[in-house]
Amino acid sequence: MTHVFLVGAGPGDPELLTLKAARLLRAASVVLYDSLADPRIIAMAGPAARLIDVGKRCGKHSASQAQICRLLVEEARGGHNVVRLKGGDPMVFGRASEEMDALRANGITFEVVPGITAATAAAAALNLSLTRRGVARSLHFLTGHGAEGGLPAHDFVSLTKSGGTLVVYMGGETLPGIAAHFIEAGMPPDMPAILIENASLTSQRSVPGTIATLPRLHAALAASGPVLILIGEAMRDANEIAAVRSRITHEVEQNMVSAA
């Protein structure tokens, strides 16, 4: 009998949660949740459920991965129905491997319930295809920080030559270094890039630019929520759309001033 469910909470909007995830939350006796899980989703747990904040977030860990694995094993051994609620999808930079390994080593059955990952939520929010036909031949999900912090050891040359869309998770702090490495690897400085904060939420903000300008734009944004970075020719429309919106907004404001 399955006692542990590794559940994807999706990008934030509760309406993007899967039906299965919602059902398991209502039936859970224990919920271990990340900081990135929206409070409205956590509130879907049954009134008798014990809620345990394990606080996993890039650069801000209130519980170590070893502690989380130990808690999962202890709660499952206690006969509890455990939901491990993770932001986005558990299998996309969600450290699911460590937790699955710990459960297997202790003979505990588990099930993974996927969630919408931030990349597809951001693409939907922007009305842009990450794999636009004739433009993006591939799609690459990258982490923005190494295992010990700092820049990850990506093959920036191969990624630049891929001709695909690059999606950088958790890359806000290392964006200047990432941009510099891509430009050094041969990426044109005017390659379209866009930063999106809090994808799918009402607090969502997006900033279009280029691989050369995005670090400065990110610094000016002073983002406090999770940030995703999209890079590639498929993002060129985002810049054009933003320019049109800016022009329309300016014209509307000028008309309002004239009318006054």
Active site residues: 34, 56, 170
Tokens standing for 245?
Answer: 């919106």
Task: Report the C-alpha gap between 186 and 189 in whole angstroms.
Answer: 9
Task: Mark 3-21 as b/e (b = at least 16 C-beta within 10 Å).
Answer: bbbbbbbbbbbbebbbeeb
CB distance 137 to 216 below 8 Å: no
Residue with token string 């891929």:
162
Query: How do beta strands 192-197 and 205-210 pair?
Result: antiparallel
Query: H helices then E strands: how many in the chain?
Result: 9, 10
